Amino acid sequence: MTRDKIYVQYPTLDHTESVANIGIEKKTVVAANGITLVDAFSNKNNSLFVIVENDDDTKSSMTVKSGNAYPNSMLGDISIEIPVGVSAIQVQDLARFEKSDGSVDLDFAEGFDGSVYAIAKWAGVRPVVE
């Protein structure tokens, strides 16, 4: 299977660093391909959200695939029910889902009709701009 790829979208802070805005780019899901979320846990702060828009008129499902980078992957995949409309799924256990290249794989039920994107916040201190 050749998976479609998406990237985590991070916020841009205003000059006061009090307000953040994320310009969203959605990826239409081709259920047969699945999705690879490239460099999914580069933030290392458990703020990763996968937003799934189910455009069908019936519920569906998404599976977060277990990774191969850490021993927790032996806990296996997790399938999540996706209701009609928009769902925000927080993926928190990087030790369970992260692959050795830093990505996470998502599979969708056959016939899924919708889109997906991923967002997270920056971790740690930003570099000083001179």
Radius of gyration of the chain (CA): 15
Name beta bridge partners: 61.
Answer: 81
- Output the pTM of the full model: 0.86
> Model confidence over 65-112: pLDDT tens digits?
999 999 989 999 999 999 999 999 998 888 899 999 999 999 999 999
> Model confidence over 6-23: pLDDT tens digits?
999 888 777 777 787 888
